[in-house]
Amino acid sequence: MLYALAAIGAVTLIVLLWKGFGPVREALERREDEQPGRPAPDDDPEFLRRIAEQQNKPGEDNR
């Protein structure tokens, strides 16, 4: 019986220490909520529009 109580106490102590000194949940949640910055070039509509215009220009060497 004494070993069972010691085990329960040890588990409780570990959980409390983990909650007290573990990763901060609020900071992790804030990072997930942040909007990503500028989109990648292949997702940026302005970039794709400029590429399409460059390809459609007459008189230039389109590769």
Residue recorded with tokens 């949640």? 29
The answer to the question of residue 16 being in a domain is yes
The total number of structural domains in the chain stands at 1
pTM given for the model: 0.39
Range of 41's domain?
2-56
57 or 40: which leads in pLDDT: 57
Q: Is 61 inside any structural domain?
A: no
Contact 38, 44 (CB under 8 A): yes
The encoded tokens of residue 41 equal: 């070039």
Give the separation between CA 15 and CA 51, rounded to whole angstroms: 56
Question: What is the C-alpha to C-alpha distance for residues 21 and 13, in angstroms, rounded to an integer?
Answer: 12
Question: 57 pLDDT band (50/70/90 cuts)?
Answer: confident
- 33 with 40: CB under 8 angstroms? no
* pLDDT digits 0-9 by tens, 6-51: 999 999 999 999 988 887 766 666 666 666 666 676 778 888 899 8
